[in-house]
Amino acid sequence: MSGRRGSGKAGTGLLAVLTIVPLVAAAAVLGPERAWAIARAAVGTALCDPMAEDTPRHRIPEVHLAPSPDDHRQGTWHDGASAVHFNQGDAFISLERTTPIVPVRHLVIAHRGMADMVQAHLALWAAGRMGVLTTWAAPVWHATPGGPGAVKWLHEAPSPDYLADRGFAGASAVFVRHANGRWAVLSGTDGTPALDTLAAILADSARSLMDRRDALARTIDVEAALRCAAVMEALPPAPVRPLWTRIPPQDRWAPVLDVSYGFRDGGDDPILAALEAEPEWQARKLDLMREAHHLLVDRGALVGELDRVVAAMRPSLRADRDKLGRLAENDTNLMRIPLARVEDELARLRDRLTAQGADDHEAR
């Protein structure tokens, strides 16, 4: 018996040595920070993310960038259907041409929280369905050579090519937005005189009501703007903002709904506010809000789209080793959260949309 107990102790000691010594050696080789990061990720993966999957069959586009060996700011963009040259600027990636997967040329790839991505997608989807122009956006699986892939948010950056990418060959888009009490030109410069005219109309309080109304109708695509206002008000809050551009051939200002991370404190849009000050246009906006409810909420289209996009993202999300569920509050650092919590957020979002439809139905 004592001999067996002694051999057992020796075995345990040997096992401990075999376990601890490599760990210490690895920590020494890697350095304490990397060793700690690896250990933390391993524990987090094991404990928090039991739903993780290794090799999913992605149902969202898979993209990866292969930078040129000579210049990392340019290279080849692969999206499964095409290989296209790209240039990476400070603000966004510019593709040389559109592809069957990515129909626009100027893009931003961003880490976003799952719930934020889904909310933004729903807002753009609903706005588009109501006839409002939007920037293009889609969740993608961003594969990084030599590293883990991740679900990211691929969205169009407002650029002068916005109209050209929509079939207006030769047209250059000017994007302006109003934030914190002033107008800012986001892209293009040709529209500056037109922006001055628009700003002057909005600021001119000496005009008669009829004159102001006529001036606004000549300068702004009122119907498109009211539709944008209706969508923003009718649907649950989403991180979107209206940008303004001039649509040919009449070159009137029309809204383009864009994802607005970091711009939530911009205040009310003065164009929309000016339009809603007109009783007739306000009534039209209310009509459009009812139409939006009818089309999107009552018929369950919005919840259906939520289910569709979440189902498309879920396999990729489960393979996302970074688990970037969402942005931490009041912090620019990304925070890892378990997939279970992501699923919980999505479920609550779905409940909210469903309840909104039911409430509206009862109220009517």
Min dist. Cβ of residue 350 to another protein (A): 20
Min dist. Cβ of residue 302 to another protein (A): 13
96 binding another protein? (CB under 8 A): yes
Min dist. Cβ of residue 188 to another protein (A): 17
Smallest CA-to-CA distance from 291 within 358, 359, 217, 226 is with 226
Residues 6+ apart with CB under 8 A from 260: 239, 240, 241, 266
Among 32-40, 99-107, 176-184, 319-327, the segment contacting another protein (CB under 8 A): 99-107
Task: Name the residue nearer to another protein (CB basis): 2 or 55.
Answer: 55
Task: Name the residue nearer to another protein (CB basis): 53 or 291.
Answer: 291
Number of C-beta neighbours around residue 153 at 10 A: 22
Q: d(Cα 109, Cα 61) in Å, to the nearest integer?
A: 13
Min dist. Cβ of residue 304 to another protein (A): 10
Answer whether 258's CB lies under 8 Å from 136's CB.
Answer: no
Q: Which residues 110-129 are close enough to bind another protein by CB under 8 A? A: 125, 127-129
Token representation of residue 280: 């007739």
Near another protein by CB under 8 A: residue from 3, 145, 249, 262: 249
Task: Name the residue nearer to another protein (CB basis): 253 or 261.
Answer: 253
Three-class SS state of 79: coil
Report which DSSP code applies to 296.
I
Token representation of residue 363: 């109220």
Task: Name the residue nearer to another protein (CB basis): 129 or 321.
Answer: 129
Token representation of residue 296: 């999107």
64 binding another protein? (CB under 8 A): no
Q: d(Cα 144, Cα 150) in Å, to the nearest integer?
A: 8
Token representation of residue 261: 């991370």
Q: How many residues bind another protein (CB under 8 A)?
A: 45
284 binding another protein? (CB under 8 A): no
Q: d(Cα 97, Cα 147) in Å, to the nearest integer?
A: 27
Inter-axis angle of helices 339-363 and 114-129, to 10 degrees?
40
Token representation of residue 114: 């799952």
Three-class SS state of 289: helix
Q: d(Cα 108, Cα 89) in Å, to the nearest integer?
A: 10
169 binding another protein? (CB under 8 A): yes
Near another protein by CB under 8 A: residue from 247, 259, 289, 319: 247
* Consecutive H or E run containing 41: helix 32-48
Among 26-34, 168-176, 260-268, 277-285, the segment contacting another protein (CB under 8 A): 168-176
Task: Name the residue nearer to another protein (CB basis): 132 or 238.
Answer: 132
Q: Which residues 320-339 are close enough to bind another protein by CB under 8 A? A: none
134 binding another protein? (CB under 8 A): yes
Near another protein by CB under 8 A: residue from 113, 158, 188, 255: 255
Among 37-45, 159-167, 274-282, 318-326, the segment contacting another protein (CB under 8 A): 159-167
Q: Which residues 198-217 are close enough to bind another protein by CB under 8 A? A: none
Q: Look-up: residue for tokens 């340019």?
A: 74
193 binding another protein? (CB under 8 A): no
132 binding another protein? (CB under 8 A): yes
Q: Which residues 71-90 are close enough to bind another protein by CB under 8 A? A: 76-77, 80-85
Q: d(Cα 56, Cα 150) in Å, to the nearest integer?
A: 12
Smallest CA-to-CA distance from 179 within 274, 267, 258, 244 is with 267
Interface with another protein by CB under 8 A: which residues?
Answer: 76-77, 80-85, 96, 98-101, 103-104, 125, 127-134, 136, 165-171, 221-224, 227, 247-250, 252, 254-256
